[in-house]
Amino acid sequence: MNVNKFIEELKDVLKDKLEMVLVYGSKTGIPTYNLKEGADLMIVVQDLSAEDLKNCVKPVYKWTRKNSVPVFMSVAEWFSSTDVYPMEYTDIKENHHILYGGDLVSSIEIKSGDLRLQCEREAKNMLMRFRKEYLLNARNKRVMAELLISSYKTAIVILKTILRLKNLPAGTNAGETICSAAKLGVIDGDFFKELALFKENKKKPADIGSAARHFIDEADKILKYTDKM
Q: Which domain holds residue 25?
A: 3-101
Q: What is the mean pLDDT of each run of 10 residues along the chain (229 residues)?
A: 91 96 75 63 96 96 92 97 95 91 95 96 98 97 97 97 95 93 97 97 95 98 96
pLDDT of residue 220: 98
pLDDT of residue 28: 65
Instruction: Clarify whether residues 92 and 117 are in a common domain.
Output: no
Instruction: Clarify whether residues 128 and 171 are in a common domain.
Output: yes
Instruction: Clarify whether residues 119 and 60 are in a common domain.
Output: no
CATH number at residue 9: 3.30.460.10
Last residue of a domain, one of 48, 70, 101: 101
Last residue of a domain, one of 42, 72, 101: 101
Domain assignment present for 126? yes
Instruction: Clarify whether residues 68 and 136 are in a common domain.
Output: no
Amino acid at 64: T
Instruction: Clarify whether residues 138 and 97 are in a common domain.
Output: no
Instruction: Clarify whether residues 96 and 117 are in a common domain.
Output: no
Instruction: Clarify whether residues 187 and 167 are in a common domain.
Output: yes
What total number of domains does the chain contain? 2
pLDDT of residue 33: 47
Domain assignment present for 58? yes
Last residue of a domain, one of 101, 120, 151: 101
Domain assignment present for 106? no
Instruction: Clarify whether residues 124 and 222 are in a common domain.
Output: yes
pLDDT of residue 30: 54
